[in-house]
Amino acid sequence: MLANQLSWMARHVRTLAACAVLAALGVPAAATDAAASPAPRLKQVSYLGYTFAVPSSWPVINDADHPRGCVRFDDHAVYLGVPGLNQDCPSWLVGTTEALLIQPGPAGAASAAVENPTARQITVTAPRISLTATFDTDPTQIYRILASASLPAPAIKAANPAQLADSRILGARARELGEGAGALTAGRQERHPARPAGRPRRRAPALPSEVTDFRGRGFDACAAPSRSYMRAWRRSSPYRAVGIYIGGADRACDQRNLTHGWVRREARAGWHFFPMYVGPQAVFREISAPVRQARRAAADAVAQARRLGFGPRTPLYYDMEAYRPRQTGRALRFLSAWSASLHALGYLSGVYSSSASGIEDLAQQYSRRTYAMPDVIYDALWNGSPNTADRVYESGEWGNHQRLHQYAGNVTQTHGHDTIDIDQDYLNVDLPLPGGTFEASPAVSLPDGGVDAFFEGRERRLWRAKRTVRSGWARPADMGGAVRSVPSAVSIGARSLDVFYKGKDGRLWEVSFRSGRGRRPARRLAMMGILGGAPRAVAQADGVVDVFWKGSADRHLWYGQFRPGRGWRGPRSLGGRLASYPSPVESSPSTLQVFWEGTGRSLWHVTRGPSGRWTRPASLGMGPLGGAPHATAQVSGTIEVFWKGSGNSQMWAASGGPGGWRGPRDLGGHITDAPWPVTAAGKVRVLWRGPGGSLWETHRTPRGRWRRPVRIRAGGLRSGPFAASGPASDRLEVFWKGRGGHLWWAAMRLSGAWTRARSLGGDVA
């Protein structure tokens, strides 16, 4: 679709309010509905034994007579029959009004009607017919038309973000068990006829997010082309990526071809995708409650993406057409909530808009941390240049293969004798694969469902306890080395694991494990100098590793960084005066914060945003702290920090995000060591050692309140607990030094029940 202001010259305007907006933009309206009019005169439309009373002004179009005709929902009309496979639709269509598409259906179909208020769409099945209806703001007219044909009144049904989040966790559990994404959730979503024993019917695994990665030319059309057209364009056109409109209240074109099977076939044929969702538009003044509307739109978009087979971490692009400057605030709040909601549901965020409105507004906010930013930007700038450059971007903004550019629109092209009206795009999208470790820990949960835990063992050597999905826990193994600190482990991508520790020489040491290649010998990173404390490491899914430590000659925060293909850089001082070890956490892609107890026993932090620049150390107050803080991040991007109080044994907390920081808050409890928070099983949970060596846990309830601390059936803790971190941590994996000096373990299953505490062996220093 065309996202700059000229697109509205051909746009059918639904209300006088929208017409006024366009007039203010200097764009003439093609047509307007009356602002107020008496009840319309009706006419009878009969089809397959049903008679509908519709406004007499609505055209009735027989699809069989117009196989290339465009079934469009932005004009009042009644369409009868099956739409053509390749409809001649303009690429610029956007918006919906009251319209109906009535097609043949199974003779024995049960009568049912469902309304999706988020998508402003009603679907009806009845004997012999299948009906799809859209509406603008009020479905009353559609209700009356259905009633005139004795069809049932629609039941309201919209995607529930909470249920989608739960099924995301189930999907992660399915992947851990090797059943493929969606294997567990499919049984809840669909019912299939009984099949013979031994031949269970299984839904195909979700497509990996890599099907949306591509560098090169692409196109988007209002309606997904047929299989034969896609085959012809694959052979003859320069395009290898296709934009598809998966849903939204303002999706104007019928999508006969867009099915789960179509997406899977075209993926096998080598096509890449950029899925788009056309929801409420700022230019039409449809955004009245930005956050609530964005959450609903994101939930509906995820439901539609799953229906089509797109798996977690797929970027879903919101189509926000060009809007007036006075709509900037609402548009930014909406797009920020869209991004945060998709992240909470396990998907990545993309935003499409005009260079002169939405893209420029987002670029200006990129480094300010006021709004959640999309992971990918899709820029409509019709300059004819197949690249991703635009003067509105500052250096580093969406600079890591995170851009699309719509460089021309309303272009009619023919390839292999097949003609489509398209917009032309250039993609440079290569998003990180699942993986990475976003908070520091001696243990990591791996993408394949395995777990690795490291500790300083007898004779001060590095030890490793490993669990695989197939074989379970193996006895801890001596990895050698000379360890003088708690180790810090990170998973990198899906096949690599690195462990860092302070050696007996005071230097930073690294041990690497590669899937299929085993362990590499420990190596000293001598360039980092002498460490003043234990290192704390985090890793991004693209292989970037950051390691932090307290200085030895000073009390500054120091760090080193590894980048694939570039090697190690550092050390670099970030300043500050540390009274504790640092606690780094990645709150969203490319956004990193580090916390510590600083001067005045207050909570301090520094931040590195997507631009790559570090802020100066700043105090958040919150004191006095009674020990080192420990941070974790929710999937929404909110950071939670916990610490032991000063002069008391309670646990204290603070939380922060784009809206600022809140706290401190006393969560109670009786803590003998620093608390250990971790994001697992869809929740932030906090663990600690209590009186008598007991293990305690608390977490937020669904209403956002902290649950009263609960004692876990595990005792004999001789150290504070630590938990595994990582992208596959869909359940809580907890470790501690216990009886006999051994490494002990317990886990909380998806159901919320804890396993029995178990000794893994070894001799923990």
pLDDT for residue 728: 52
pLDDT for residue 177: 29
Indicate whether 366 belongs to any domain.
yes
Residues 662 and 660: their CA atoms lie apart, in Å, by 7
Q: Within this chain, do residues 418 and 486 fall inside the same structural domain, yes or no?
A: no
- In the structure encoding, which two tokens stand for residue 234, read together? 């694959």
Q: What is the pLDDT of residues 238-273, one digit of tens each?
A: 999 999 999 999 999 999 999 999 999 999 999 999
Look at the chain and report how many structural domains it folds into.
3
Indicate whether 421 belongs to any domain.
yes
- Assign residue 645 the CATH number of its domain: 2.120.10.70
Q: Within this chain, do residues 455 and 344 fall inside the same structural domain, yes or no?
A: no
Is 760:465 a contact under the CB 8 Å cutoff? yes
Q: Within this chain, do residues 93 and 230 fall inside the same structural domain, yes or no?
A: no
pLDDT for residue 164: 59
Q: Within this chain, do residues 313 and 423 fall inside the same structural domain, yes or no?
A: yes
What pTM value is reported for the model? Answer: 0.63
Does the structure show a pLDDT above 80 at 3?
no
Integer Rg of the chain from CA: 28
Percent of the chain whose pLDDT exceeds 70: 85
Residues 512 and 503: their CA atoms lie apart, in Å, by 15
Comparing 226-235, 466-475, 510-519, 721-730, which segment has the lowest mean pLDDT?
Answer: 721-730
Residue holding tokens 């490494």?
743
- Assign residue 308 the CATH number of its domain: 3.20.20.80
Q: Within this chain, do residues 128 and 241 fall inside the same structural domain, yes or no?
A: no
Q: Within this chain, do residues 117 and 175 fall inside the same structural domain, yes or no?
A: no
Contacts of 39 (CB under 8 A, 6+ apart): none
Mean pLDDT, to the nearest integer, of 348-373? 93
Comparing 3-17, 353-367, 431-445, 665-679, which segment has the lowest mean pLDDT?
Answer: 3-17
Indicate whether 162 belongs to any domain.
no
Mean pLDDT, to the nearest integer, of 17-36? 35
Comparing 194-208, 431-445, 450-464, which segment has the lowest mean pLDDT?
Answer: 194-208
Q: Which range marks the domain in which residue 612 is found?
A: 443-761
Q: What angle do CA 199, 205, 211 make, to 5 degrees?
A: 150
Q: Within this chain, do residues 482 and 628 fall inside the same structural domain, yes or no?
A: yes
Q: Within this chain, do residues 636 and 740 fall inside the same structural domain, yes or no?
A: yes
Q: Which helix (H) or strand (E) holds 233?
A: helix 227-236
Residue holding tokens 């692409």?
218
Does the structure show a pLDDT above 50 at 187?
no
Structure-model confidence comparison of residues 679 and 534, the more confident one: 534
The model's confidence at residue 179, banded by pLDDT at 50, 70 and 90, is very low
Q: Is 162 exposed, middle or buried (0-12, 13-18, 19+ CB in 10 A)?
A: exposed
Mean pLDDT, to the nearest integer, of 553-580? 92
Indicate whether 242 belongs to any domain.
yes
The model's confidence at residue 519, banded by pLDDT at 50, 70 and 90, is confident
Q: Within this chain, do residues 390 and 273 fall inside the same structural domain, yes or no?
A: yes
Residue holding tokens 């694939």?
564
Residues 130 and 100: their CA atoms lie apart, in Å, by 11
Does the structure show a pLDDT above 70 at 28?
no
Alpha carbon of residue 445 to chain centroid: 19
Residues 738 and 497: their CA atoms lie apart, in Å, by 26
Indicate whether 34 belongs to any domain.
no
Mean pLDDT over each residue of the chain, to the nearest integer: 86
Q: Give the pairing type, strands 50-55 and 42-47.
A: antiparallel
- In the structure encoding, which two tokens stand for residue 564, read together? 């694939």
Q: Within this chain, do residues 128 and 229 fall inside the same structural domain, yes or no?
A: no
Indicate whether 448 belongs to any domain.
yes
Is 56:45 a contact under the CB 8 Å cutoff? no
The one-letter code for the residue type at 49 is: G
pLDDT for residue 671: 92
Q: Within this chain, do residues 616 and 486 fall inside the same structural domain, yes or no?
A: yes
Q: Within this chain, do residues 416 and 519 fall inside the same structural domain, yes or no?
A: no
Does the structure show a pLDDT above 70 at 350?
yes
Comparing 111-115, 174-178, 214-218, 483-487, which segment has the lowest mean pLDDT?
Answer: 174-178
Indicate whether 24 belongs to any domain.
no
Indicate whether 196 belongs to any domain.
no
Alpha carbon of residue 654 to chain centroid: 24
Task: Name the domain boundary from 429, 460, 482.
Answer: 429
Does the structure show a pLDDT above 90 at 207?
no
